[in-house]
Amino acid sequence: AQSVTQLGSHVSVSEGALVLLRCNYSSSVPPYLFWYVQYPNQGLQLLLKYTTGATLVKGINGFEAEFKKSETSFHLTKPSAHMSDAAEYFCAVSEFGGTASKLTFGTGTRLQVTL
Amino acid sequence: NAGVTQTPKFRVLKTGQSMTLLCAQDMNHEYMYWYRQDPGMGLRLIHYSVGEGTTAKGEVPDGYNVSRLKKQNFLLGLESAAPSQTSVYFCASSYRFGPSYEQYFGPGTRLTVT
């Protein structure tokens, strides 16, 4: 069974500082990995995804993530935080095969950006 | 293009009451999903559908029923609401089979059961 662990339920950074949100996964087959962002009182929006190929994936709003198979990690980074990045971020892994693209989500990390 | 819409946005129920949440998508997606989101638990899949007239159980299906009579709509029903069903419910849809296909989410329905 697949699972996702997000270290740190709350992360606080200063505006302009590096953002690092951690995600580790467990999967018995090659994973497809996703980061979603949820702004207050809204649904989830896809930031980026890794399927195959290049392990460094670039997403929207300046975010990127690197798939490291040896570390079973898919950490999300952004070089310089902006106030508008304050939101909750979810890492998810997709089950390969089966009858639908079912996602397993982590418990989320709330990012706070301070002046 | 409205994407995925959910009705209603908020609802308060008393224990034992019933209700139906409506999800609609205008992207001609084959697959649709219902999730619930609870603090500290991320999103958990309740039921999903791979096409019109078909539904399947997800991770936490107990206490819920679903129907997919039309391709664009996916209904989630609570026959006898319980306080444990207080949650935020999200509907999602995706184009087709395959784990790499993006799921598009609706804005959510906040349900409180007293």
Looking at residue B107, its pLDDT comes to 93
Looking at residue A103, its pLDDT comes to 84
**A1, burial (CB in 10 Å: exposed 0-12, middle 13-18, buried 19+):** exposed
Chain B neighbors of A99, CB-CB under 8 A: 50, 56, 97
User: How does residue A59 score in pLDDT terms, banded at 50, 70 and 90?
Assistant: very high
> Can you read off the two tokens belonging to residue A32?
């497809």
> Can you read off the two tokens belonging to residue B53?
């007239």
Q: In the predicted model, what is the mean pLDDT of residues B81-106?
A: 86
Q: Which of A46, A99, A108 sits opposite B102 (nearest CB)?
A: A46
Which residue is closest to A35 within chain B, CA to CA? Answer: B102
CA dist A76 → A1, B12, B18, B28 (Å)? 23, 37, 41, 31
Chain B neighbors of A108, CB-CB under 8 A: 40, 42
Looking at residue B38, its pLDDT comes to 93
Chain A neighbors of B42, CB-CB under 8 A: 4, 90, 105-108
Q: In the predicted model, what is the mean pLDDT of residues A24-46?
A: 88
Question: What residues in chain B have their Cβ under 8 A from chain A's Cβ atoms?
Answer: 4, 31, 33, 40-45, 48, 50, 56, 58, 90, 92, 94, 97-103, 105-108
CA atoms within 13 A on the CB side of A113: 16
A53/A85: higher pLDDT: A85
Specify the residue for token string 């200063």.
Answer: A14
